[in-house]
Amino acid sequence: MDLYEHMGKDLFRAQGIATPRGTVCRTPEEAADAATSFGGRAVVKVQVQVGGRGKGGGVVLVESPERAADETDRLLREVFAGHVVDRVLVEELLPIAAEFYTSILLDRSTGSYLAMMTAEGGVDIETLARERPEAIRRASIDPLLGPRPYHVRELVGTLPASAREGAADVLGKVFDLLTDRDATLVEVNPLVQLEDDRVVALDAKVTIDDNALVRQPDLAALAQEFPIDPVEKRAKEAGLQYVKLDGDVGIIGNGAGLVMSTLDVVARAGAKAANFLDIGGGASADTMATSLEVILSDPAVRCVFVNIFGGITRCDVVANGVLEALGRVDATVPIVLRLDGTNAEEGRRIIAEAQHPKIVSVPTMDGAAAEAARLAEAAA
Partner 1 sequence: MSVLVGPQTKLLVQGITGKEGTFHTLRNRAYGTNVVAGVTPRKGGQDVEGIPVFDTVAEAVSATGANTSAIFVGPRFAGDAILEAADGGIDVVACITEGIPTRDMAEVHSYLRGTATTLVGPNCPGVITPGVANVGIIPGEVCTPGRVGFVSRSGTLVYQIVYELTSKGIGQSTCIGMGGDPVHGIGFIESLALFESDPDTDLMIMTGEIGGDDEERAAAYIAERVSKPVVAYIAGFEAPPGKRMGHAGAIVTGSSGTATAKTEALEAAGVQVARTPSQVAELVADRLGG
Compute the CA torsion angle 312, 316, 322, 324 (nearest 10 deg).
-120
Strands 183-194 and 199-201: antiparallel
164-173's contacts with Cβ under 8 Å and 24+ in sequence apart are 166/193, 166/197, 166/198, 166/199, 167/100, 167/102, 167/117, 167/191, 167/199, 169/199, 170/17, 170/102, 170/199, 170/201, 171/102, 171/104, 171/115, 171/117, 171/147, 172/147, 173/12, 173/15, 173/16, 173/17
Nearer to partner 1, 38 or 113 (CB): 113
Task: For strands 205-208 and 183-194, give the pairing.
Answer: antiparallel
- Least distance from partner 1 to the Cβ atom of residue 40, Å: 31
Q: Which is nearer to partner 1, 36 or 261 (CB)?
A: 261
Q: Which one of the listed residues 101, 113, 242, 371 is annotated catalytic?
A: 101
Active-site choice (30, 71, 91, 187): 187
Q: Which amino acid is at 163?
A: A
Decide whether 161 or 214 has the Cβ nearer to partner 1: 214
To partner 1, the closest distance from the beta carbon of 158 in angstroms equals 16
Specify the residue, 40 or 54, whose C-beta has the smaller distance to partner 1: 54
In angstroms, the CA 213 to CA 316 distance is 36
- What is d(CA 146, CA 360) in angstroms, rounded to the nearest whole number? 57
- Which pairs count as long-range contacts for 26-29, CB under 8 Å and 24+ apart, including other chains? 26/76, 26/86, 26/87, 27/72, 27/76, 28/68, 28/69, 28/70, 28/72, 28/73, 28/76, 29/69
Q: CB 185 → partner 1: shortest distance, Å?
A: 5
Task: State the nearest-atom distance from the C-beta of 33 to partner 1, in Å.
Answer: 29
If the CB atoms of residues 68 and 183 are measured against partner 1, the closer one turns out to be 183
Return the number of the residue (160 or 341) whose C-beta is nearest partner 1: 341
**Who's near 266: CB < 8 A, 6+ residues apart?**
247, 249, 251, 272, 273, 305, 369, 372, 373
Q: How far is the CB of 200 from partner 1 (least distance, A)?
A: 19
Interacting residues toward partner 1 by CB under 8 A: 2, 49-51, 103, 105-109, 111-114, 116, 125-126, 129, 136, 142-144, 178-179, 182, 184-185, 187, 205, 207, 209, 211-212, 214-215, 243, 245, 253-258, 260-261, 263-268, 272-273, 276, 309, 311-312, 340-342, 364-366
Annotation says 101 is catalytic: yes
Query: Is 324 known to be catalytic?
Result: no
Task: Report in angstroms how near the CB of residue 12 gets to partner 1 at its nearest.
Answer: 15
**CA 253 to each of CA 193, 287, 307, 322: distance values in angstroms, whole numbers, following the listed order:** 52, 12, 5, 12
Those residues whose C-beta lies under 8 Å from the C-beta of residue 69, and which sit 6 or more positions away, are: 28, 29, 31, 32, 35
CB of 276 to partner 1, least distance (A): 7
Q: With respect to partner 1, which residue has the nearer C-beta, 16 or 311?
A: 311
Neighbours of 281 (CB within 10 A): 10
Active site members: 101, 187
